[in-house]
Chain A
Amino acid sequence: MERVLLVRYGEIILKGLNRPIFEDALMRNIRHRLRNEGKYKIYKSQATIYIEPAEGDDQTDRIHEKLKKIFGIVSIVVAYKTEKSMEGIYNIIPDSIGDVLKNAKTFKVEAKRSDKKFPLKSPQICEEVGGFILDNYPNLTVDVHNPEVVVHAEIRDDNAFVHTGREKGIGGMPVGTGGKAALLLSGGIDSPVAGYMIAKRGVALEAVHFFSYPYTSDRAKDKVLKLAGIVSEYVGKIKVHVVPFTEIQVQIRDKCPEEYLTLIMRRFMMAISERIARENGCDALVTGENLGQVASQTMLALGVTNDAVDMPVFRPLIGLDKNDIVEMARDIGTFDTSILPYEDCCTVFTPKRPATKPRLEKVVKYQQLLDCEKLIEEAVAGVETIIV
Chain B
Amino acid sequence: MNIYFDNSATTAPNPLVCDAVADAMSNVYGNPSSLHRMGKTAEDFMTDCRARVAKSIGATAEEIIFTSGGTESDNTAIIGYCTANKRKGNKIITSKVEHPAVLEAFKFLEHSGFEAVYLDVDENGRVDMDHLARELTDDTLLVSVMHVNNETGTIQPIEDIASAVHAVGAIFHVDAVQSYGKIKIDVKKLGADMITVSAHKAHGPKGVGALYIRKGVRISPIIHGGGQERGLRSSTENLPAIAGFAKAADIMTENFDKSVSAMCGVKNYLKDKLTSTLPNITVNTPEDSVCSVLNVSFTGIRSEVLLHVLEDKGIYVSSGSACSSHKKGRSHVLTAMGKRDNIIDSSLRFSFCGANTLEEASYAVDVLSEQVPILRRIMR
List residues of A whose CB falls within 8 A of some B CB: 213-217, 250, 253-254, 258, 341-343, 348-349
**Docked complex Cα distance between A215 and B311 (Å):** 12
**Docked complex Cα distance between A17 and B309 (Å):** 59
Chain A residues with Cβ below 8 Å from B380 are 253, 258
CB-nearest residue of chain B relative to A339? B328
**Docked complex Cα distance between A214 and B307 (Å):** 8
Chain A residues with Cβ below 8 Å from B307 are 214
Asked if B308 contacts A214 (CB within 8 A), the reply is: yes
Q: Of the candidates B308, B312, B378, which one forms a contact with A250 in the assembled complex, judged by CB atoms under 8 Å apart? A: B378
CB distance from B67 to the nearest CB of A (A): 29
CB-nearest residue of chain A relative to B327? A341
**Docked complex Cα distance between A217 and B379 (Å):** 17
**Docked complex Cα distance between A214 and B308 (Å):** 5
A-B contact pairs, 26 of them (CB 8 A): A213-B308, A213-B312, A214-B307, A214-B308, A214-B309, A214-B312, A215-B305, A215-B308, A216-B308, A217-B304, A217-B308, A250-B378, A253-B378, A253-B379, A253-B380, A254-B377, A254-B378, A258-B380, A341-B326, A341-B327, A341-B328, A342-B304, A343-B305, A348-B302, A348-B305, A349-B379
- Residue from the set A215, A217, A343, A349 with the largest chain B CB neighbour count within 10 Å: A215
**Docked complex Cα distance between A349 and B377 (Å):** 12
Chain A residues with Cβ below 8 Å from B328 are 341
CB distance from B314 to the nearest CB of A (A): 13
**Docked complex Cα distance between A381 and B379 (Å):** 26
CB distance from A189 to the nearest CB of B (A): 14
CB-nearest residue of chain B relative to A352? B380
Q: Mark B235-271, 1 if CB is under 8 A from A, else 0.
A: 0000000000000000000000000000000000000
**Docked complex Cα distance between A26 and B380 (Å):** 53
Chain B residues with Cβ below 8 Å from A254 are 377-378
**Docked complex Cα distance between A213 and B312 (Å):** 9
**Docked complex Cα distance between A281 and B307 (Å):** 38
Q: Which of B296-320 contact A (CB under 8 A)?
A: 302, 304-305, 307-309, 311-312
CB distance from A243 to the nearest CB of B (A): 17
CB distance from B376 to the nearest CB of A (A): 12
CB-nearest residue of chain B relative to A214? B308
CB distance from A50 to the nearest CB of B (A): 48
Chain A residues with Cβ below 8 Å from B379 are 253, 349
Q: Which of B310-357 contact A (CB under 8 A)?
A: 311-312, 326-328
Can you add 20 more A-B contacts, CB < 8 Å, to A215-B305, A341-B326, A348-B305?
A: A213-B312, A214-B307, A214-B308, A214-B309, A214-B312, A216-B308, A217-B304, A217-B308, A250-B378, A253-B379, A253-B380, A254-B377, A254-B378, A341-B327, A341-B328, A342-B304, A343-B304, A343-B305, A348-B302, A349-B379
Chain B residues with Cβ below 8 Å from A216 are 308
**Docked complex Cα distance between A191 and B307 (Å):** 27
**Docked complex Cα distance between A348 and B378 (Å):** 11
Chain B residues with Cβ below 8 Å from A343 are 302, 304-305
CB-nearest residue of chain B relative to A213? B308
CB-nearest residue of chain B relative to A252? B378
Chain A residues with Cβ below 8 Å from B302 are 343, 348
Asked if A214 contacts B378 (CB within 8 A), the reply is: no
**Docked complex Cα distance between A342 and B308 (Å):** 12
**Docked complex Cα distance between A253 and B380 (Å):** 9
Chain A residues with Cβ below 8 Å from B377 are 254
CB distance from A258 to the nearest CB of B (A): 8
CB distance from A235 to the nearest CB of B (A): 29
CB-nearest residue of chain B relative to A351? B380
**Docked complex Cα distance between A215 and B378 (Å):** 11
CB-nearest residue of chain B relative to A349? B379
CB distance from A248 to the nearest CB of B (A): 12
Chain B residues with Cβ below 8 Å from A342 are 304
CB distance from B6 to the nearest CB of A (A): 15
User: What 8 pairs across the A-B complex have the smallest Cβ distances?
Assistant: A214-B308, A214-B309, A341-B328, A253-B378, A217-B308, A215-B305, A250-B378, A343-B304
Chain B residues with Cβ below 8 Å from A213 are 308, 312
Asked if A214 contacts B327 (CB within 8 A), the reply is: no
Chain B residues with Cβ below 8 Å from A253 are 378-380
CB distance from B326 to the nearest CB of A (A): 7
Chain B residues with Cβ below 8 Å from A250 are 378
**Docked complex Cα distance between A341 and B319 (Å):** 14
CB-nearest residue of chain A relative to B329? A341
**Docked complex Cα distance between A368 and B328 (Å):** 37
Chain B residues with Cβ below 8 Å from A258 are 380
With A253-B380, A254-B377, A254-B378 as given contacts, are A214 and B326 in contact (CB-CB < 8 Å)? no
CB-nearest residue of chain B relative to A215? B305
**Docked complex Cα distance between A343 and B222 (Å):** 38
**Docked complex Cα distance between A343 and B328 (Å):** 11
CB-nearest residue of chain B relative to A217? B308
Chain B residues with Cβ below 8 Å from A214 are 305, 307-309, 311-312
**Docked complex Cα distance between A217 and B369 (Å):** 22
**Docked complex Cα distance between A253 and B377 (Å):** 9
**Docked complex Cα distance between A349 and B301 (Å):** 11
CB distance from B93 to the nearest CB of A (A): 31
Chain A residues with Cβ below 8 Å from B304 are 217, 342-343
